[in-house]
Homo-oligomer: A and B are copies of this chain.
Amino acid sequence: MTTTTSYRPIDGHPAGSVTDSSPDEVAAVVARAAAVAPVVAAASPATRLGWLERVAATLESHGDELVRLADTETSLGTARLTGELARVAAQLRFYGAVAVEGSYLGVARDAATATAPSLTRVNQPLGPVAVFGASNFPFAFGVLGNDTASALAAGCPVVAKAHPAHVLLSVRLAELAAEALVEAGAPSGTLGLVVGMDAGVQLVRAGQVAAVGFTGSQAGGMALWRLANERETVIPVYAEMGTVNPVVVTRAAAAHRLDEIATGFVGSFTLGSGQFCTKPGLVLAPAGHDVAAAVGAALEAAAPQPVMLTEAIASHATSGVDDLVAAGARVVARVPARSEGWSTDAVVLAAPAAALTAGSRLLEECFGPVAVVVEYADDDERDALIATLQPSLAATVATDASGADPDAPALVMKLAGQVGRVTIDDWPTGVAWTWAQQHGGPWPATSRPEATSVGGAALSRWVRPVAYQSVPEAWLPPAGRADNPWDVPQRIDGELRPRQR
């Protein structure tokens, strides 16, 4: 019988242990999810919103306990964790409201014509979704994070895997949420949890699991993607993975706003000790302004970093700096690690443009408070550097803030070609959960360039369309009926009709 133990980042002592799920237990959790899947799917979006609201309220009413537990296992601090708890509750309500709005159902109705039969198209939930949360957002991307909330909102039961770095919190969150769901009328089994690495593998292989959501490292995401591709019935894996998230500083920006940009950049890349998938890790800056020195100075003036989430993350960050140096970078500034707990130095490096060749370690994420500055001599070199970058979740253009920076428009277009989100004079850390958000990007930022794991479109990952041909009204799913009982947007003979309210 194996167990999963989480540790306190502040001193490395065990926080607690949970017995791993046995193969039989995993099978039972999946079977329960599969058994209730038709009931969850048949519930109206308004009903599911009610379920999610109850979960949100339960989390809020257990806020102190949950924040305390999360802080023990993550050391992210009570201020940050209190905010993140509020966020996860707001997310649950948001995805429920997105479901009620009903666009995710993609309803279209074509009347029969002389040459074509009547067709009604309605998205339906895929079935049980396996969710693998992230270490760095125990609430917002955890057991009840964006993947779980959007899957439940879309009508899919969820089986989450407990994250080993916050396994106690994972168990408690699942416990509270499962209880709240049942209280709110959802069938028992709508949300399940499994614990342990083997349990996670079994989960992805389980025949009744219909899709996988993952947030985390490249290695972890790729492993799950391969596992799913080896199934007899291949299922979609929506893996959102860390990337280098480049920042391009324009010439006008360097000339007019260098200190402000350097300070803002340090704030962003050291936020939460750099443990964000959207951490900006690479700056392309015009030569002649010594941007690396400015960033280094800003780092030295910054507050010391909190400890890291896990021993492995701390040691990878430390060895990552060595790898960057081996790849041709030099250290410009280094703020030493705290002496207590799992810690790593915060580091600014500089690398010559010539070092950024395909396959270079400099092009990859170094998870932690580490960033590299590369100078470009002219437009051609800048554009050549951009062309060597791996696709990322986000890219930032730092402009002169005039709204008329001559270099910016072309950079926006160019970067949009290789990332999921382009920000102007606004740092990429922080991912708003609104309708227009896109948290994703081309391979290897994610395994599905068309998908987002945050925002209104996140529900689309968990449904697929079915067309009903010559099917009588009464046998259609409610969302597709002419009388539109759920008041969802419908496309009628090609014309999009919004909700009536």
- For chain A, which range describes its interface: under 10, 10 to 19, 20 to 34, or 35 or more residues? 35 or more
Closest beta carbon of chain B to A89's beta carbon, Å: 14
- Of residues 452 through 471 on chain A, the ones whose CB sits less than 8 Å from some CB of chain B are 452, 455-457, 460-461, 463-471
CB-based nearest B residue for A394: B469
Decide: B412 and A450 in contact? CB cutoff 8 A. Answer: no
Decide: A412 and B498 in contact? CB cutoff 8 A. Answer: no
Decide: A465 and B420 in contact? CB cutoff 8 A. Answer: yes
Decide: A470 and B435 in contact? CB cutoff 8 A. Answer: no
List, in ascending order, chain B residues with CB within 8 A of A465's CB: 420, 438, 440, 450, 452, 457
CB-based nearest B residue for A422: B468
Which of A38, A416, A455, A456 has its CB near the most chain B CB atoms (within 10 A)? A416
Decide: A496 and B450 in contact? CB cutoff 8 A. Answer: no
Q: With the chains together, A439 CA to B465 CA distance in Å?
A: 9
CB-based nearest B residue for A447: B234
Q: With the chains together, A438 CA to B412 CA distance in Å?
A: 35
Closest beta carbon of chain B to A292's beta carbon, Å: 25
Decide: B423 and A469 in contact? CB cutoff 8 A. Answer: yes
Given A435-B110, A438-B121, A444-B233: A422 and B496 interface contact (C-beta under 8 Å): no
Decide: B436 and A119 in contact? CB cutoff 8 A. Answer: yes
A16 interfacial by beta-carbon distance below 8 Å: no
Closest beta carbon of chain B to A311's beta carbon, Å: 31
Decide: A434 and B233 in contact? CB cutoff 8 A. Answer: no
Given A108-B435, A443-B233, A471-B422: A466 and B117 interface contact (C-beta under 8 Å): no
Among the listed stretches A56-64, A162-170, A486-494, which one makes contact with chain B, having 4 or more residues with CB under 8 Å of it?
A486-494
Given A116-B432, A235-B443, A466-B438: A409 and B489 interface contact (C-beta under 8 Å): no
CB-based nearest B residue for A473: B403
Q: With the chains together, A121 CA to B416 CA distance in Å?
A: 11
Given A422-B468, A475-B412: A489 and B494 interface contact (C-beta under 8 Å): no
As a 0/1 sequence over residues 114 to 137 of chain A, the CB contacts with chain B under 8 angstroms (1 = contact) are: 011101110010100000000000
List, in ascending order, chain B residues with CB within 8 A of A439's CB: 467
Decide: B422 and A466 in contact? CB cutoff 8 A. Answer: yes
Closest beta carbon of chain B to A86's beta carbon, Å: 10
A-B contact pairs, 6 of them (CB 8 A): A103-B491, A233-B391, A233-B442, A412-B471, A420-B464, A436-B467
Nearest 4 pairs between A and B by C-beta? A438-B467, A116-B432, A108-B436, A119-B436
